[in-house]
Amino acid sequence: MIDQALILILSSVVLASTPLIIAVCGEILTERAGIVNLSLDGSMLMAAMTGFVVALKSDSVWIGFLAAMIVGAFFASIIAFGSIRLRQSQFAIGFVLTLLGDDLAAFLGQNYTRIPGPVVKHFAIPLLEDIPVLGPIFFNQSPVVYFAYILVGVTWFYLFRTQPGLRLRSAGERPEAAFARGISVNRQRYIYTIVGGALVGIAGAAYSLDIKIGWSDGHIRGFGWIALAIVIFGGWSPIRGAFGALLFGATKALATFLQRRFPEVSVVAFNAVPWVLMITVLLLVGSDFTERIITMAPERMQRPLQRLLRISPPKALGSTFVED
Amino acid sequence: MQAIFNKYPRLWRVFNLLLPFLATLAALAVGAVMLILLGENPLAAYSALMEGALGSTNALADTLVKATPLLLVAVGICIAFRGGVLNIGGEGQLVVGALASTVVGLAFPDAAGVVVIPLALLCGFLAGAVWGAIPGLLKAYFNVNEILSTIMMNAIAVQGMNYLLRAPLIDPVQLESASRIPQTARLAIAFDLPRLIPTRLHLGTGLAILAAILVYIFLWRTVIGYRIRAVGLNPHASRYAGINVPRYIVLALLLSGAFAGLAGAVQVYGLHHRMFTDGSATGFTGSAGFNGIVVALFGNLHPLGAIPASFLFGALLVGANKLQRVMQVPSAFIIGLNGLVVVFVVSSEYFKRRWAVRRETETIEKVPIASEAEEMT
């Protein structure tokens, strides 16, 4: 029924969304603790470049991923230090780091652009890949994709079903209350900013070592911002965030598909589609729009719809907390 | 040091104003250590940088030309920041402003410059305003995060520019030739902004300084400006004071975009005399939309502070080129140096605040008579 070409497209959508899913999970951890890591675009580029170069020199993709993690964590630690210790605007620091990361990655990596390097080997999961339709789409992928699946589940479970997760969220929601309960708010924030940054680093390396096969700054630039938008779209929940990432990947694939079907329409129109779509989505999700739609729905449906659609950022997101 | 400042409060204010420059010097000192590690003579390097930026009339003019769009963007960013919103869409607003003004110039090739230039600058200003107002409306009425929406508006503007410059607006000469470079025809020479001296320095620089002064007056000496700042400081209190908060959020982003749009128009009429693209925004803007934010932060988010800040960054950018040509210093060093300057300035703010707190506590500890006596001196 479903033809082979469609399965191929869908499996490529899953692959293309993987780095976004990983980055979104990392950023959700950070933002749930109350810090915004705005440097995503820059730190992902730096991580992608470092990961590729290290993997090329060491001839091991895993060492490359490790290096990328360190770079991501380093960028995040600057933001944590700047906002917690120096009490500067997280947005300003994050933004400056974005610019720095973008430029630095483009410069330092200029000798390594568009050259072949090591890539992650694909690995079909035995049994699961034989499931019709779903198997080839989800389980005939690279290990990085499987890592993303696990990460989404683990992040969700950690955030909403464990004690450390509760402490994490308390630091982002009600820092004063958390502090009164004996939780070191700023330590929580340091830890999860850095952990989140390390995941963002993995996401960057996933581009250069898996999806894009090789390093070139032009191909990765911009995805960090998309990831930040998806965090909001996903209502700071890893599962919804993962769906958001897949949705974005699907629209991109659709745009490419339509472009082939309608060659007379300018390429530019299709290139702009995902961005316009993201703004529209942010508009729909972030506003009273959803509230209005929910009240239009039948009485019985309102509560579940509200749970499904309503999003609210962590209350203390982007604020600084002074312990005394 | 504390004692001196307590004795002379005015000195403290002067020190506050000088702090960014002291921080810059500190960053340059760290840069010197890096240069030594690279095996270069830091004194020679910095003198090459200075000479490249300020050494001759031409160099100085180039610095000012480079500083002009930075200043215009930064002035707009100040309005947005003071209104409590972050405008990261300078790149897109600059591109849209440049496009709109170019269209005006292309549409009336035979009109008089006196008519076309102001009209084109106005159109650039308005186009930027529209591009800034969209995220403003989204933020004010639909609670859409302005950081993300402005970034996306950048991407949309770039796509629009690529489309327009490859098809409808392309230079007829390029259309004939095989290369098809995506750029418009050169605008009529009558439309060039007047040049002040026989260098590349054009009237736009004066316009930018004028804009900075006007925005200062607007923000601190008018009711609307006061309301923008009030909304930025405390939206809740402003609401209870009867200020229509969403309206002023839109206005802050609208004006912010407008000045970036004007920067685009000035770049077209003062410097490039045509619009071109390399596929990304930076080809035309030279990242002025982003660097303007850094300049604004450097200038303490004050329009008048942005004037020296933009000059400094213009000098760093122009000097860096020279440094690279003369000494083969890797350009990563310059990027790093820029970053260092920003980091130092940002963290100097922290020390300033800490000193300010200590000063206050020390003043309070004194008996009232002593503090009165201090005021009298």
Over residues B204-258, the pLDDT tens digits come to 999 999 999 999 999 999 999 999 999 999 899 999 999 999 999 999 999 999 9
pLDDT for B181 beyond 70:
yes
Per-residue DSSP letter, B79: H
**CA–CA separation, B151 and B310 (whole Å):** 23
Q: Computed from CA positions of residues A315, A222, A87, A33, in that sequence, does the dihedral angle turn out positive or negative?
A: positive
| Separation in Å, CA of A262 to nearest CA in chain B | 16
Closest C-alpha to B254, from B84, B131, B145, B151: B131
Asked which of A129-133, A196-200, B15-19 is least confident by mean pLDDT, the reply is B15-19
Say whether residue A283 is in contact with chain B using an 8 A CB cutoff.
Answer: yes
On whether the CB atoms of residues A43 and A72 are closer than 8 A, the answer is: yes
pLDDT at residue B184, rounded to an integer: 86
As a whole number, the mean pLDDT across chain A is: 85
| Residue B137 pLDDT grade (very low, low, confident, very high; cuts 50, 70, 90) | very high
On whether the CB atoms of residues A199 and A43 are closer than 8 A, the answer is: no
On whether the CB atoms of residues A96 and B294 are closer than 8 A, the answer is: yes
The residues that bridge with B195 in the sheet, in sequence order, are B202
CB-facing half-sphere around the CA of A185: CA atoms within 13 A: 25
pLDDT at residue B147, rounded to an integer: 82
For the ranges A116-130, A251-265, B91-105, B335-349, the one whose mean pLDDT is highest:
B91-105
**CA–CA separation, B185 and B81 (whole Å):** 37
| Separation in Å, CA of B24 to nearest CA in chain A | 16
Q: Rounded to 5 degrees, what are φ and ψ at A314?
A: -55, 135
State the average pLDDT over residues A272-276.
Answer: 76
pLDDT at residue B374, rounded to an integer: 46
pLDDT at residue B99, rounded to an integer: 95
Tokens at B201, concatenated = 């320095």
Q: Computed from CA positions of residues A273, A274, A278, A279, in that sequence, does the dihedral angle turn out positive or negative?
A: negative
Q: How many residues does chain A have?
A: 324
**CA–CA separation, B16 and B18 (whole Å):** 5
The residues that bridge with A124 in the sheet, in sequence order, are A140
Closest C-alpha to A79, from A47, A48, A42, A35: A35
Give this prediction's pTM.
Answer: 0.82
| Separation in Å, CA of B55 to nearest CA in chain A | 27
**Sole residue written with tokens 């490859």:** B166
For the ranges A11-20, A253-262, B143-152, the one whose mean pLDDT is highest:
A11-20
Chain A segment 201-220 residues within 8 A of B by beta carbon are 218
ipTM given for this complex: 0.74
Burial code of B85-111, b = ≥16 C-beta within 10 A, e = fewer?
bbbbbbbbbbbbbbbbbbbbbbeeeeb
State the average pLDDT over residues A297-301.
Answer: 74
State the average pLDDT over residues B42-70.
Answer: 88
**CA–CA separation, A14 and A211 (whole Å):** 10
Q: Give Rg (Cα) of chain B.
A: 23
Identify which has the larger pLDDT, A259 or B43.
Answer: B43
As a whole number, the mean pLDDT across chain B is: 84
Say whether residue A95 is in contact with chain B using an 8 A CB cutoff.
Answer: yes
State the average pLDDT over residues A134-148.
Answer: 86
**CA–CA separation, A210 and A200 (whole Å):** 15
**What is the rounded end-to-end Cα distance, in angstroms, of chain B?**
19
**CA–CA separation, A94 and B293 (whole Å):** 12
Closest C-alpha to B303, from B351, B264, B256: B256
State the average pLDDT over residues A243-265.
Answer: 81
pLDDT at residue B264, rounded to an integer: 95
Say whether residue B293 is in contact with chain A using an 8 A CB cutoff.
Answer: yes
Residues in B touching A218 (Cβ below 8 Å): 280
Mutation choice for B interface testing from A98, A107, A110, A311 by most B CBs within 10 A: A107
**Closest Cβ–Cβ partner in B160, B342, B350 for A86:** B350
The residues that bridge with B202 in the sheet, in sequence order, are B195
On whether the CB atoms of residues A208 and A48 are closer than 8 A, the answer is: yes
pLDDT tens digits for B312-363? Answer: 888 888 888 787 777 777 666 776 777 777 667 766 766 666 666 666 666 6
For the ranges A194-203, A236-245, B294-303, the one whose mean pLDDT is highest:
A194-203
The type of residue at B214 is L
